[in-house]
Amino acid sequence: MATREDVLRELKLAPEWRLRGRAEPGTAEARSSDGSATPAAREGGGTVDADLRRARIAALGWEAFDADVAACTACGLCRARNKTVPGVGDRDADWLFVGEGPGAEEDAKGEPFVGQAGRLLDSMLGALGMRRGERVYIANVVKCRPPGNRAPEPGEAEACRPYLERQIALIRPKLVVALGKSAASLLLGTDATIASLRGRAHRYGGIPLVVTYHPAYLLRSLPEKAKAWEDLLFARRVASSDPPPPPAGA
């Protein structure tokens, strides 16, 4: 004799049990119980996905780099951006400058350091006999503008880290200059103050690294400009005395 469960199943009335938040076979992304994409699906979450993303970015060439950055949705900064700001300059640069993140003008133009802070940076480069686009590459910790020009949050900086790491690997600069605390913290893995990090040659992956103030901070604290100039002169001495980094993969 058929059981009650058999009858319900035959009439298609039996309950179907499914795991919430698990992607159905053949679907593009996981869904939560209300039908929306889960954070892991939206942002490539999970250890395996993060490792795959990092490996994919680590294999990018310049021809695909900017487009990959423009398609990135790994953190919430993507939701408010106008343009991504991957970086600009000489791809065979001797010096790599790393700032914090794009501001309003950078977000509109898609190029780093084009506002007032950028003009100050250009003046500082000129005083060293250098200029944007020649022997110099300029990038940021994050490639999208943080709301209100705030400092990048740790999760945002970590989400963008693979892109900066790939830029460093592609450029193989003789020197990295960290502009401000966000850049210094990410590259050196420290929460130390700028004052305590200045005046010393640090290392990032075998490349000498010098820390100085961010140009935006100098615009608010004019007396510190002299210290920043001292830092750049020190950076020039470090770059001229340190052997160039080995080729990638050596």
Q: What is the pLDDT along the chain (250 residues), one digit of tens a residue?
A: 555 555 445 544 444 433 333 333 333 333 333 343 333 334 445 788 999 999 999 999 999 999 999 999 999 999 999 999 999 999 999 999 999 999 999 999 999 999 999 999 999 999 999 999 999 999 999 999 999 989 999 999 999 999 999 999 999 999 999 999 999 999 999 999 999 999 999 999 999 999 999 999 999 999 999 999 999 999 999 999 866 555 554 4
The residues spanned by each domain of the chain are: 41-241
Helix 225-241 vs helix 116-127: crossing angle, to nearest 10? 50
pTM (2 decimals)? 0.79
pLDDT at 1: 54
Query: 91 near 102, Cβ under 8 Å?
Result: no
Residues 158 and 139: their CA atoms lie apart, in Å, by: 15
41-241: CATH topology: Uracil-DNA Glycosylase, subunit E (3.40.470)
